[in-house]
Every structure is written in structure tokens, then in C-alpha cells.
Amino acid sequence: MQLQRFTIRYYLLISVFIILTATLIYSPLRVSADVSQPSSDSFKTAVFSELGTDLVDLGSDTYKDSSLNLARGESLSDLLQGTGISSLEAFDITDSLGSIIDMRRIQAGQIVNLRQTSGGRILKVSLPVSFDRTITARWTSQGWQSTEQLTDIYPIPTVVTTRIESSLFQAAKDSGIPLSIMMEAIGLFSFEVDFQRDIQPGNIVNLLYEKLQNKDGETIAAGELLYAGMELDNRKVEAWRYERLDGTVEYYEESGDSVRKALLKTPVDGARISSGFGYRNIPALGFSGLHRGIDFAVRIGTPVMVAGDGEVIIAGWHKLYGYRVMVRHANHYDTMYAHFSRIASGIRPGVKVKQGEVIGYSGNTGNSTGPHCHYEVHYYGEPVNPSTLKFPPGHKLESDDMNLFTLERRALIAEFNLQ
């Protein structure tokens, strides 16, 4: 009896043990079978592959992808909270993205791609920050984790020749030139070409620029403008991109002169500024007001040079400015020089002048409190501060740079049949 009872108890124990074990083994199997089953819930597979080893259990939830644009004055955190998530979660996401990219550089207009569950949870935030770079934050079992995705890009040099019918913009549109490339060419020619007067229907524009393509040969952006040439009625203007041995990139003419011809900031040699641009007391005029130019203290008779190429529009007497000269330059710039002792011979309205040409001699005429040259720069007729004009100084290539530039230029001409 003792033994029998013991045996029954023993078998009971064994059975319970087996049932428990079976339950324990069976349960997790059922769970994992559920998850890995290729069911109609295809989102689970997608989430699984997105996260690698980290499986986010969405239960019966599904997700959707959407794309938003960052509005002016809106932070990424604002945008994320606008989808209904907490400020804390928005902070965690931006903090994670901030480990890869400086979030202060994210600007209005930035595309923000979101993956959200139908319950509003965010699973993924990705920011295409440039044509070849995307930063993505993903929700994982370790919290928000960000990675960077780079696209391989191949620059393909492309030549486009187009005839101007109405405007440069129309020419760009008609011939498929990216607007950014045409804008760059216009910027380069603006020192040399007056777009209102010089360009005529039938003029030719030649551009050599890079198309940036991905490995599938799809063009995703425009790269560098390598060469821009324009055949006008009476002359040809050219700009070649060249990276100097010191690493600086500029555009040059065949002669090695930079195409950027700044207006001279100082039209007289060896001068010191005696009065700057801005609001001040002007005792000579008996009132406080805007000093519309810059005064250079120089001895009477000092030659004054014209600040840039242009056409004389005024040369004569003015009761406040004394003997003065005004010159019209390309692209809505005018310069004015006042209180001359005399105007240089041959300087009269309609005469074309070259940068650095002497147009007069400083003096103390008109309403002037002492010998000086008063210099004004006007943009669209309004005085601007000459000392803050955003023109980089011109540059000329020399020795090794000039030799290398010439070799590179000839290679491009031969390869792309540019002339």
C-alpha cells in the first residue's frame, strides 16, 4: 500500500511535470509562429527588416508613410508634436538625429518623411538633407537610433548649346538646362554683360556642366558649372571654372583674369576714409541725415579713378556736389564722384570708361568742408554702402596656376569641342 501510494503520487507528479513543461515549451512556440507567419499583415515583415534584429510588436496595428515640409519658423520638434506625439518623444527623436547632423542646419522647406502606426506612434523619421544624403531615426528596442544613408553619385559632364530667343531663363527652360546652372552663369557674366542692353535674340550660350547621376544612370541633381560662354553681337564672354593650387575655386577668363570684376571700393590711391556711410551730423549742410557715400581725405589734384567699366551719364557742376561725375555700370549700379577740382578731359555724358580710368581730380568744390573726394554707389538708384558691397576682389592666375589652368582649359576644349 505504502509503495502503491507512492507510485501513484510519483506518476501524478511526473504527469504534472510533463504537462507544465509541455505548456511552457508550447506557448513560446505559438507566439513566435504567430510573428514569423507570412500572413496578410505584411507590415510586420517590413518592420522586421527595417529594424534588423529589433522586432517592434505592432499587434494588429498597421502603418502608413507620409511626407511633410518644415514650415518657416517651425522646428522639427514642433512638426513631430503636430502629429500628436509627446514633446518628450519629439525630443528623443530630434536628439537622436542630432547625433548625426547639426539640427540647426535643418531649414524651412526640409522634407520630413514619417512612418506612423494607425494609432499615431512614430516608427521612423527620415530627412533627405541633400540629394545624396539621408538621415534616418528608427524606433528600436534600444530606443531611437539614427543612421546616415549615402548615395553613390557620378558627375557626368554635359555640353548644352542654346540660342537665346527671348530671355536667358527661357533659353534654359527650352534646352533643359537646370535653372541653378543658368543662374550661376548669369552671376558670372553680370560683371561683363548688361543683361538689359547687351543680349539680343539669336545670341548663343554654351554651357558645360555636370549632371549628377546615380548608379542607375538617373540624373538627380546638377553639379558644377565647368564652363560658360556667351556669343554676343560684338564680343564673346567666357568663364572657366578652375581650382587653384591653394584649393580656391574661381571662374577665369582665358587670360587668367578672374571674371569677377569688383567695383573699386577706393577710387583714389593712398586715401583715408574721413567720413563713412550712414546717418550723422553734417555741419556743412546744417542738418543730421544720411551720408550717402564715403569721403576720402586726399590732397587737391589727386587723380580719381572710375570704379568699374561703364558709361558717363553726368559730368558737370552741381551746387552741393561741385564738379562731379556719375557713371552707369552694368546691372543697375551707378557710381558718383564729387567735389572735383576739375573733370578729366574727354569725360562727358555718353563716353564709355574702363575700370581704373581717371575721370577727374579731387578738390574742394560745391558744399565741401575741406579737400576730399565724395564717392557714392547706387544700386537701382538707391545709395548703398560701397565698403560692404558683396563683390569678392578680382584675381589673376600666375605661374604654376596659370600653366595648369591653360592645360585644363585646352583639355576641356578638345574633349567637349567647345570652340
Q: Least Å distance between CB 380 and Zn ion?
A: 21
Q: Which residues contact 337 (CB under 8 A, 6 or more apart)?
A: 267, 304, 306, 324, 325, 326, 359, 360, 373, 374, 375
Query: Where are the alpha helices (H) located in 82-178, listed in sequence order?
Result: 87-97, 168-175
Q: Which of residues 96-155 bind Zn ion (CB under 5 A)?
A: none
Whether the CA torsion 365, 370, 372, 377 is positive or negative: it is: negative
End-to-end CA distance of the chain: 116
Ordered DSSP codes for 312-381: EEEEEEETTTEEEEEEE-STTEEEEEEEEEEEPTT--TT-EE-TT-EEEEEB--SS-SSSBEEEEEEETT
Contact region with Zn ion (CB under 5 A), list: 52-60, 104-112, 288-296, 350-358: 288-296
Q: Least Å distance between CB 315 and Zn ion?
A: 19
Give the residue with the Cβ less far from Zn ion, 297 or 413. 297
Q: Least Å distance between CB 374 and Zn ion?
A: 3
Q: Least Å distance between CB 356 and Zn ion?
A: 22
Minimal CB distance residue for Zn ion: 374
Give the residue with the Cβ less far from Zn ion, 94 or 362. 362
- Determine the distance from the C-alpha atom of residue 284 to the mean position of all C-alpha atoms in its chain, rounded to a whole number: 45
Give the residue with the Cβ less far from Zn ion, 295 or 334. 295
Whether the CA torsion 92, 98, 100, 104 is positive or negative: it is: positive
Give the residue with the Cβ less far from Zn ion, 208 or 263. 263
What residue ranges in 214-309 does DSSP mark as E strands?
219-231, 236-243, 249-252, 272-275, 278-282, 287-291, 294-297, 303-305
Q: Least Å distance between CB 388 and Zn ion?
A: 17
Q: Which of residues 290-319 bind Zn ion (CB under 5 A)?
A: 295
Give the residue with the Cβ less far from Zn ion, 282 or 413. 282
Q: Least Å distance between CB 310 and Zn ion?
A: 21
Give the residue with the Cβ less far from Zn ion, 77 or 274. 274
How far apart (Å, rounded) are the C-alpha atoms in residues 274 and 292? 14
Give the residue with the Cβ less far from Zn ion, 44 or 372. 372
Which is nearest to 337 in space by CA: 310, 363, 299? 363
Phi first, then psi, for residue 355 (nearest 5°) are: -50, 130
How far apart (Å, rounded) are the C-alpha atoms in residues 398 and 407? 14
Q: Least Å distance between CB 334 and Zn ion?
A: 16
CA distances from 397 to 107, 262, 263, 353, 419 (A): 37, 16, 19, 25, 22
Q: Least Å distance between CB 266 and Zn ion?
A: 14
Q: Least Å distance between CB 355 and Zn ion?
A: 22
Q: Which of residues 364-393 bind Zn ion (CB under 5 A)?
A: 374
Q: Least Å distance between CB 172 and Zn ion?
A: 42
Count the residues of the shown chain that bind Zn ion, applying the rule CB under 5 A: 2
Contact region with Zn ion (CB under 5 A), list: 10-18, 128-136, 251-259, 287-295: 287-295
Give the residue with the Cβ less far from Zn ion, 116 or 362. 362
How far apart (Å, rounded) are the C-alpha atoms in residues 105 and 317? 53
Give the residue with the Cβ less far from Zn ion, 202 or 289. 289
Whether the CA torsion 250, 305, 332, 320 is positive or negative: it is: positive
DSSP 257: B
Give the residue with the Cβ less far from Zn ion, 294 or 397. 294
Contacting residues toward Zn ion, per CB under 5 A: 295, 374
